[in-house]
Amino acid sequence: MGENVNEELNEQVKTKRKKGARLYRIFLLSWVLCLLVVLSASLSRFYDFLLKYEAAYKATLPEYVAADLLTLFRTEDTGSLYDLATEKPGHGTYETREDVVIYLRSFLQNGPISLDPVRAESTDDHQVFLIDSGDVTVARAEYVKEPVADALEIPRWDLTSLILYADEPRGIHISAPDNVNLIVNGIEYSGTGTPGEEPVAQRFVGDYEELPRINEYDIDGFYYLPDVAAVTDDGTNLPVLCDMNTYAFYVDYPRDCAYRTEVEAIAKEAVGAYANFISGDLSEGELKKYFTANNVFLYYMEHAELKWFTRHLASEIHSAEVVDFIAYSDDVCYCEVVVEQYLTMEWGPREPEVITTDGKFYFVKQNGEWKVLGIEF
């Protein structure tokens, strides 16, 4: 009976031991699992910390601070850059924002876009950069860091200043008669120029009318050589000469107008009559009808002794060619005509002698008719 009792006790001990070992294993496994969870969470937080720290560090690097701005430069988006700029390249009345935007694009084609920190002016909260295209500095940018909640927050930067560098716009110079309308890039010029000298023709026109002068005009604000046109009051377009190296334009007096054909026909007759009068083949009365009343040039011709022509049998005007015409105003013009006069002499060969006469006449409108006021010798 005693042996049975011992066996039962042994079985109870073994059972307790097995139960204790099982509980210990459960406890150990639970502890290991808890430890793994804690370690995993700690490593995850540490990894997040490292990522945030790296991001925060990178966000302080120049290429990251100005990343969006550099993209605009590298894609040559000068329209967006122009809108962002706190100091924009200016333009004049006769150019537009689009002209400047296109002009700026040429500055970004000198080479790769790069960023150069200005360390002497930069701090932890204020970054200053120069942006280069190749060897050419094209802009200056300044950034200020926004306040953050704690030291590990990723900083953000505000662009507070952007200066776009460009050459100063050029000025143009125009020389043109003061009674001509100037059109610059499709816009009528409304300014006043510097009065030029009195034209030579004024000496021959006298007090009849003050002739337009060639005025000098200076206009600023051009990145491109502009299109300059000159138009008279009657709508006639005048030739505009341009020196593309100096941006200088020149407009001469009109060589065409509505009454040109009418005056040329009268001028051919008048110069032909003038040649026949000098040769003694036309009376003073016939010549007089081409001149203004009380004309001093006609007076001198009427009282001059015209004896230098050889006696001849006949005079004929065989050709009359207009070689120059200038319209000074609606009532004053200049017309140069060359005529060939054939003279048949009283003796010698019957082959006519050809006399060329170059008449440089100034015409004015008097009582609705074109008359000779002056002659340039």
Q: How confident is the model at residue 314 (pLDDT cuts 50, 70, 90)?
A: low
| DSSP collapsed to 3 states, the chain | CHHHHHHHHHHHHHHHHHHHHHHHHHHHHHHHHHHHHHHHHHHHHHHHHHHHHHHHHHCCCHHHHCHHHHHHHHCCCHHHHHHHCCECCCCCCCCCHHHHHHHHHHHHHCCCEEEEECCCCCCCCEEEEEEEECCEEEEEEEEEECCCCCCCCCCCEEEEEEEECCCCCEEEEEEEECCCEEEECCEECCCCCECCCCCCCHHHHHHHCCCCCEEEEEEEEECCCCCEEEECCCCCEECEEEECCCCEEEECCCCCCCCHHHHHHHHHHHHHHHHHHHCCCCCHHHHHCCECCCCHHHHHHHCCCCCCCCCEEEEEEEEEEEEEEEECCCCEEEEEEEEEEEEEECCCCCCCEEEEEEEEEEEEEECCEEEEEEECC
Rounded percentage of the chain residues whose pLDDT exceeds 90:
57
User: Quick one: tokens of 207?
Assistant: 């007090």
**Does residue 36 carry a pLDDT above 80?**
no
Of the ranges 1-5, 56-60, 108-112, 303-307, the best mean pLDDT one: 108-112
Write down the pLDDT at residue 57.
Answer: 47
Rounded percentage of the chain residues whose pLDDT exceeds 70:
79
**Does residue 375 carry a pLDDT above 50?**
yes
| pLDDT mean over 41-52 | 57
Given a contact cutoff of 8 angstroms between Cβ atoms, the answer to whether 238 and 252 are in contact is yes
From 273, 296, 275, 297, select the one nearest 285 (Cα to Cα).
Answer: 273
Of the ranges 19-23, 25-29, 120-124, 228-232, the best mean pLDDT one: 228-232
Residue range 66-80, pLDDT digits in tens: 888 999 999 999 999
Q: How confident is the model at residue 230 (pLDDT cuts 50, 70, 90)?
A: very high
User: What is the spatial distance between Cα 238 and Cα 241, in angstroms, rounded to a whole number?
Assistant: 10
Rounded to two decimals, the pTM is 0.73
Residue range 210-228, pLDDT digits in tens: 999 999 999 999 999 999 9
Q: How confident is the model at residue 50 (pLDDT cuts 50, 70, 90)?
A: very low
Write down the pLDDT at residue 147.
Answer: 76
User: What is the spatial distance between Cα 373 and Cα 331, in angstroms, rounded to a whole number?
Assistant: 11
User: What is the spatial distance between Cα 146 and Cα 159, in angstroms, rounded to a whole number?
Assistant: 11
Residue range 322-364, pLDDT digits in tens: 999 999 999 999 999 999 988 776 666 667 778 888 999 999 9
Q: How confident is the model at residue 41 (pLDDT cuts 50, 70, 90)?
A: low
Write down the pLDDT at residue 19.
Answer: 67
Write down the pLDDT at residue 170.
Answer: 93
User: What is the spatial distance between Cα 257 and Cα 261, in angstroms, rounded to a whole number?
Assistant: 9
User: What is the spatial distance between Cα 210 and Cα 198, in angstroms, rounded to a whole number?
Assistant: 9
